[in-house]
Amino acid sequence: MTGPSGTGKTMLARAIHHRSSRRKEAFVEVSCGALPETLLESELFGHVKGSFTGAVANKKGKFLAADGGTIFLDEVGNASPALQVKLLRCWKTGSLSRWEAIRRLRLTRGLY
């Protein structure tokens, strides 16, 4: 979806979610344009405690939070090509590799 701010992109994404079979599951919006790359990566994929300065606890990440539901990546075109590759891999395979994670996590229920 494209359009200037306030034209209803988020509203439309929510409407699609609420009319889908996943309406009872989570709808998670991530603003990809607003965060620096490293923060965005940990926001999306989560991180384990101690993997970088400031990582004071395990963080679940938005992909896992949206498992079974819908994740809406706002301004995804502003994410770097490297991060977009990771997004695509996560979306296609359902596998998440957390920063310095020992175990790999999988999305079990899939995503829109």
Ligand X SMILES: Nc1ncnc2c1ncn2[C@@H]1O[C@H](COP(=O)(O)OP(=O)(O)OP(=O)(O)O)[C@@H](O)[C@H]1O
Contacts to ligand X by CB under 6 A: 3, 5-11, 74
Distance CA 47, CA 61 (A): 7
Indicate which of Mg ion, ligand X, none lies near residue 15 (CB less than 5 to 8 Å, by partner kind): none
Compute the least distance from the CB of residue 2 to ligand X, in Å: 9
Indicate which of Mg ion, ligand X, none lies near residue 60 (CB less than 5 to 8 Å, by partner kind): none
At 32, is the secondary structure helix, strand, or coil? coil
Specify whether the backbone of 84 is left (phi greater than 0), alpha (psi in -120 to 50) or beta: alpha
- Residue closer to ligand X (CB basis): 51 or 78: 78
Compute the least distance from the CB of residue 72 to ligand X, in Å: 9
Q: What distance lies between CA 86 and its chain's CA centroid?
A: 11
Residue labelled with tokens 């889908």: 20
- Residue closer to ligand X (CB basis): 29 or 58: 29
